[in-house]
Structure 1
Amino acid sequence: MKNRSFAIALISLLALGSAQAAPLVLHRGIGVHDWLNWAPLDASGNYRQPPYNTMSEWLSGYRPLDAWPAQDQFERMKGLGFDFVRLSVDPGPLLANDGAQRQAALDVLDKAVRHVVAAGLKVVFNLHFSSQVDAYSQEAIEQGADSEPVARYNAMVVDVAKMLAAVGIEKVAIEPYNEPHYYPCDDTGTDDWQRIQTAQVQMIRAVSPDITIVATGACGGDIADLLNLDATAFDDPNILYSFHMYDPHSFTHQRIDDGGWASGLPWPASSRSRKDVEADLTARMDAAGVGFVEQQANWLKISGDIDDYYARNWDKAEMAKLFAQGVDWAKSQGIAADRLFMGEFGVIDMNAKGDSGALPEDRNRYITDARSLAESYGMAWAYWEYANPYGMTFIVPTGPAVPDETLLAPLGLPPTAQ
């Protein structure tokens, strides 16, 4: 009888262990960026103490606070059909301080994470550089794997992992880095990112063997960039592998950062001819009073991207080839396809001026294709992002803070969601 009882207890323990040997279950997520990713600065140009925006500061950043409904925004996200938030957080205030001041910053973040999970949402906590303070920018930290800045960064990641583990591994995941700018993919880089990611996983595992970690490839974090990552060096069942789907950038990011006109490419490419797209863009420039010489200079800037876009005939089938690359990489590493994670995707909307962005119907077809491809492999996804004035947003960018209802169906959300 004692042996039988021991056997039953052992089986129960093994079953419990196997149930835990899986990452946090995630499905439909929404990115929240402006709240904690732009820590306010004081008059001297240093981070304000205590750091990070309050929720009111976040919501009133580019529209009146009374434009938002009284409902808690995270309860609202839950009601819309999302089950997790990818919460991007500026690591700068954590890197700038240690000891009691770092703990004060962690306390702010701990309170924020607990607020989100109290609304019934899980959290992917993403350390996500901003460029506000040069000393703590991505450029300043991204040095060799054995460098002092990287060591300081990794020590900070350990402190974040301890804070998140205390919230509960059934509620949170840690994503210790966003879009690394190490470039082994162009044959001029080193193995620095491989070593850094391996070290980060090992350090987090020393804090918690079970917390979900979101790892990523170098070269900016696109799906093809996973191909340069050797996950066998550190993989375990509680790791997800992130990629961002903005391919092709010529469609998702139609804009010219130093001024000019780039808008109206269709999705799929075959849905409108190049001639019609160029005629429409010319008409928008004419209506805005853009002169002939300036228009010709503009065409020189964008014609190469248009050439490439139509030459590849971008559509869902081309996008599917990228997903297949990622799935093939995962298979080669012994990783199930559903442990890939589409951590960001979206499309810049055409603005009122018409000089940047995609038309809503084209944006929505792209989002439908990306989301459905991810789901076909069982991958979780996070749409970029909840609310901002920059053209890639779930909440409309001006006026009353209501969802863009045309995005509900492309994201597979209930049509009655409000």
Structure 2
Amino acid sequence: MTTVSRRLAIGLVVAAYGLSDGGAGGAGSTGPAGPGPPLRRGMNFHHVLNWPEMSAPGNYVWPPFTGASFQTSDGELAALKAKGFDFLRLTLDPAILMASAPLLRDQLIDIVLGRAQRFIHAGFSVVVDLHPVAQNPRFAPGQLMSDGDAFKAYSRMTQALAKALARLDPMKVALELFNEPPLWRPEGQVHWRAMQAGLHDVARQAAGDALPIVLTGADWSSYRALLSLDVDRYRNSNVYYTFHYYEPHIFTHQGVQKEQERYVENLVWPPAPAQRTSAVQKAKLLIDRDSGLSPDGKLAASLTTERLLNSYFDGGSDAEGVEAVFARIGDWARARRIASSRVLLGEFGAALQPGASAEVGASRLAWLRAVRSAAELNGFPWAYWAYRGKGGMSLATEGSAAEIDTGVLKALGLST
């Protein structure tokens, strides 16, 4: 099917089912979805309630989230609103909540509510995203997946937070239960589905029926894992579904430290076959220069990186391929009578490292445009990663709200 006919076919089906309109579910949803934010174009806020300052391992500075790096000015919020963003995905490190005594935990929840209310008053809807990070090893993502006691603490924390969020307007706030569950094997995905069902139930019992809850698949919230979810279990619950999209990962995360793609640079998208040999050679040179690797480590990194690069050049990723993936997700939603407005692209972005070539910069914008367009074609709301942060994906220069990447705004179809 050609791109034009695919767009026409999707548009006709969406119109027929009435699935693209309204944030509260629409005529074709899985059940009485209930109230919910009318999400369209979002921004991830990862700098506000994540990575709290610590005085020592496991010991948090109190009160938390007070430093300049955790703040967002009224002017910044007004600028984002004026450019067309209508919701914020507010990431929250749950470890500090689980590690704190009950009185401090209650104060932390008040801080979360206060930040959410401020953003709501600024004109945004807010998705409060429970976003575990590895800062506190006791409650790192992998630990939560494998340690029954740690997950019980997580469940209790989710229950308390859901009860508090239920005090806010359900047309303005939603609770996302877990960011990117790191379980990718088939048995792990089954395990996650059971864990998520338990989290959903305790949150629903605590908050009542009105609070929207955001569900995800395992495998780091991949679309493939989303397609394997049993949505019938949630047919009568007020839920959204979310997935993340960073494919091809070697392109979107090239040069990002702590990623296996850190030795790749100046990779363009779609893949240019003539670049294959030079990309492999440059990566091996960077690996050889890495003094932190042993000889065996260099060999392993070289083999892994070459495999990833070959897979990239052989994969044939392009804009039509992105559109086909999103059409598949749209088909999944329609087959289960899930409103497209309830399928959230919760994260997408591509890194641009200092010194990257102009061709890489143009490729990045082309990729962002392709992903955003595919989401909108299928009626999915989306949230860009991220407003501020490290890794080369931020919209705003760290510490300087005035320097916003207008190229990214254009790729997102927003006002500059």
Q: CA 1:226–1:107 in 2, change beyond 3 Å: closer, same or farther?
A: same
Matched, 1:227 2:240: no
Instruction: Tell me the CA shift for residue 196 of structure 1.
Output: 1.6
Contact 2:254 2:261 in 1 (8 A): no
Instruction: Tell me the CA shift for residue 44 of structure 1.
Output: 5.9
Partner of 2:167: 166
Q: What is the correspondence of 1:182-193 to structure 2 with a 5 Å cutoff?
A: 182-183=183-184, 186-189=185-188, 191-193=190-192
Corresponding residue to 2:100 among 81, 97, 100: 97
Q: What is the correspondence of 1:13-412 to structure 2 with a 5 Å cutoff?
A: 21-43=34-56, 45-51=58-64, 53-54=65-66, 56-58=68-70, 71-143=74-146, 147-183=148-184, 186-189=185-188, 191-206=190-205, 207-236=207-236, 238-255=238-255, 257=258, 261-269=263-271, 273-276=272-275, 278-279=277-278, 300-352=303-355, 359-397=360-398, 401-412=402-413
Q: CA 1:280–1:131 in 2, change beyond 3 Å: closer, same or farther?
A: closer
- Local SS of the residue matching 1:244: strand
- Local SS of the residue matching 1:35: strand
Alpha-carbon distance in structure 2 between the residues aligned to 1:260 and 1:123: 33
Instruction: Tell me the CA shift for residue 305 of structure 1.
Output: 2.0
2:227 aligned partner, one-letter code: L
Q: CA 1:398–1:97 in 2, change beyond 3 Å: closer, same or farther?
A: closer
Q: Which runs of 5+ in 1 are unaligned?
A: 1-17, 60-67
Alpha-carbon distance in structure 1 between the residues aligned to 2:282 and 2:95: 45
Percent of residue pairs bearing the same amino acid type: 29
2:39 aligned partner, one-letter code: L
Instruction: Tell me the CA shift for residue 233 of structure 1.
Output: 1.1
- Local SS of the residue matching 1:254: coil
Alpha-carbon distance in structure 2 between the residues aligned to 1:321 and 1:237: 29
Alpha-carbon distance in structure 1 between the residues aligned to 2:282 and 2:145: 44
Asked which structure has the greater CA Rg, the reply is 1
- Local SS of the residue matching 2:48: coil
Instruction: Tell me the CA shift for residue 71 of structure 1.
Output: 4.6
- Higher relative contact order by CA 8 Å / sep ≥ 6: 1 or 2? 2
Instruction: Tell me the CA shift for residue 88 of structure 1.
Output: 0.3
Alpha-carbon distance in structure 1 between the residues aligned to 2:223 and 2:396: 27
- Measured against aligned partners, the alpha-carbon deviations of 1:357-404 in whole angstroms (never above 9, x if no partner) come to 982100100000100111111111000000123201111358674110
Q: May I ask how many residue pairs the two structures share in their alignment?
A: 376
Q: CA 1:312–1:398 in 2, change beyond 3 Å: closer, same or farther?
A: same
Alpha-carbon distance in structure 1 between the residues aligned to 2:33 and 2:307: 50
Contact 2:76 2:401 in 1 (8 A): no
Alpha-carbon distance in structure 1 between the residues aligned to 2:371 and 2:110: 36
Contact 1:349 1:358 in 2 (8 A): no
- Measured against aligned partners, the alpha-carbon deviations of 1:112-143 in whole angstroms (never above 9, x if no partner) come to 11111111111000010121111122222213
- Measured against aligned partners, the alpha-carbon deviations of 1:149-196 in whole angstroms (never above 9, x if no partner) come to 22221121111112212122121110011001223xx33436321112
Alpha-carbon distance in structure 2 between the residues aligned to 1:200 and 1:284: 42
Q: CA 1:165–1:399 in 2, change beyond 3 Å: closer, same or farther?
A: closer
Q: Superposition RMSD on alpha carbons, in Å?
A: 3.1
Contact 2:280 2:309 in 1 (8 A): no
Q: TM-score, normalised by structure 1?
A: 0.81
Contact 2:263 2:283 in 1 (8 A): no
Q: Which runs of 5+ in 2 are unaligned?
A: 1-30
Contact 2:33 2:239 in 1 (8 A): no
Instruction: Tell me the CA shift for residue 322 of structure 1.
Output: 1.9
1:91 aligned partner, one-letter code: P
- Local SS of the residue matching 1:268: coil
- Local SS of the residue matching 2:397: coil
1:88 aligned partner, one-letter code: T
1:54 aligned partner, one-letter code: T
2:51 aligned partner, one-letter code: W
Q: CA 1:211–1:309 in 2, change beyond 3 Å: closer, same or farther?
A: same
